[in-house]
C-alpha cells in the first residue's frame, strides 16, 4: 500500500516551528527577521508565488518586503536595487523571483546577492559550500524534499537514489544533499540512456525535469520513495487544464512505498523552507 506524503501538513509543522523560532529571535534581538522579494515583470505564475511567499512570511511573524519592477527595467537598475538590499540592515533575506526577462543576465543578478542573505541558496558561494560539505543556505525545494525523504525512510545511508534533472535549482543540490547523507546517488538527464532501468533500481526517486508523466508507474521499484517535483500544466480535453507531475501518479499508486502528490506535495514545503532559511540567515547575521 502506498503512503501519500502530505506536503501541506509537513509544511504547516515546519512553519509553526519557524514561527516559534521567530518569536524567540524577536525576544532576544528586539526586531523581526525581514525577507524582501523582488518581482520583475507581470508573469502570472510568479505573481502568485510572490503573494504566497508574502502571506507566509507575515504569518510567521517576519517582516515582508516587496519590490515590483516593470519588465523593461534595466539590468543596472535591478543590480542597484539588489546592492541596496544587501546594505539594508533590516533585510535578512533577499529573493529575486525567477525567471527574469531575457535582457537581464540572471547569473549576474544572483551572484550580486549577498551570500549571507541568499535565502534561495542559488549564489555560487552557497552552491560551492553545499557541494563541498560546508554549512550553507540550501535551495528550498531540495531541502524540503530531503526532509520528506528522511521522515519516510529514516536513515538513508547506502540507499540507491536517482535524481532525474540536473538543474542548479533542484537536481544538483538535491544530489549533493543525498550524497551528504551517504546515499548512493545517480543523476539522470535528457541524454540518459535506458531511464527505465535506472528508475527500477532506485529506492529513492526524485523527479525534477518538467516533463509530464515522464516516469511510468511500472518502472518504479516496489516500495520506493518517490518525490515528484514536476509541476506541469496539461489539457484535460474540456477546454480546461490541470497540474500534474513528472511521475505517472496513478500508475505508481500501489507500487511505490511513498509518493508525493502534485499539487500538495513538494510545493508547500518549498515556501516553508524559504521561511526556515530566512530565520537561519537572520540568526547568522
| Residues noted as catalytic | 53, 97, 120
For residues 131 and 172, give the distance between their C-alpha atoms in angstroms, rounded to a whole number: 9
Helix (H, G, I), strand (E, B) or coil at 28: helix
**What's the maximum distance between 2 C-alpha atoms anywhere in the chain?**
57
Exposure string over 191-214, b if 16+ CB within 10 A, otherwise e = eeeebeebbeebbbbbbbbbebbb
Q: What is the C-alpha end-to-end distance of the chain, expressed in Å? A: 46
Helix (H, G, I), strand (E, B) or coil at 91: coil
Return the residue matching grid coordinates 541524454: 191
Q: Which of 154, 219, 157 is nearest to 188 (CA)?
A: 219
Element (H, E) at 160: strand 160-164
For residues 265 and 248, give the distance between their C-alpha atoms in angstroms, rounded to a whole number: 15
Helix (H, G, I), strand (E, B) or coil at 167: coil
Amino acid at each position: 500500500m502506498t503512503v501519500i506524503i502530505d506536503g501541506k501538513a509537513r509544511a504547516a509543522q515546519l512553519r509553526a516551528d519557524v514561527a516559534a523560532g521567530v518569536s524567540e529571535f524577536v525576544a532576544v534581538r528586539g526586531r523581526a527577521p525581514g525577507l524582501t522579494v523582488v518581482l520583475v515583470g507581470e508573469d502570472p505564475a510568479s505573481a502568485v508565488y510572490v503573494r504566497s511567499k508574502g502571506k507566509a512570511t507575515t504569518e510567521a511573524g517576519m517582516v515582508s518586503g516587496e519590490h515590483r519592477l516593470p519588465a523593461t527595467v534595466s539590468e543596472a537598475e535591478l543590480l542597484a536595487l539588489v546592492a541596496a538590499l544587501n546594505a539594508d540592515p533590516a533585510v535578512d533575506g533577499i529573493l529575486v523571483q525567477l525567471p527574469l526577462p531575457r535582457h537581464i543576465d540572471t547569473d549576474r543578478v544572483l551572484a550580486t546577492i549577498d551570500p549571507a542573505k541568499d535565502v534561495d541558496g542559488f549564489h555560487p558561494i552557497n552552491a560551492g559550500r553545499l557541494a563541498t560539505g560546508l554549512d550553507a543556505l540550501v535551495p528550498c525545494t531540495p531541502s524540503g524534499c530531503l526532509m520528506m525523504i528522511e521522515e519516510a525512510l529514516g536513515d538513508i545511508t547506502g540507499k540507491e537514489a536517482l535524481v532525474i534533472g540536473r538543474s542548479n535549482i533542484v537536481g544538483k543540490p538535491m544530489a549533493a544533499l543525498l550524497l551528504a547523507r551517504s546515499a548512493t546517488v545517480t543523476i539522470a538527464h535528457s541524454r540518459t540512456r535506458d531511464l527505465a532501468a535506472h528508475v527500477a533500481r532506485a529506492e529513492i526517486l526524485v523527479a525534477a525535469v518538467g516533463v509530464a508523466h515522464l516516469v511510468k508507474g511500472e518502472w518504479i521499484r516496489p516500495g520506493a520513495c518517490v518525490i515528484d517535483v514536476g509541476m506541469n500544466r496539461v489539457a484535460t480535453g474540456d477546454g480546461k487544464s490541470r497540474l500534474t507531475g513528472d511521475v505517472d501518479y496513478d500508475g505508481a499508486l500501489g507500487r511505490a512505498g511513498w509518493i508525493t502528490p502534485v499539487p500538495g506535495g513538494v510545493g508547500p514545503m518549498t515556501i516553508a523552507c524559504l521561511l526556515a532559511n530566512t530565520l537561519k540567515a537572520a540568526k547568522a547575521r
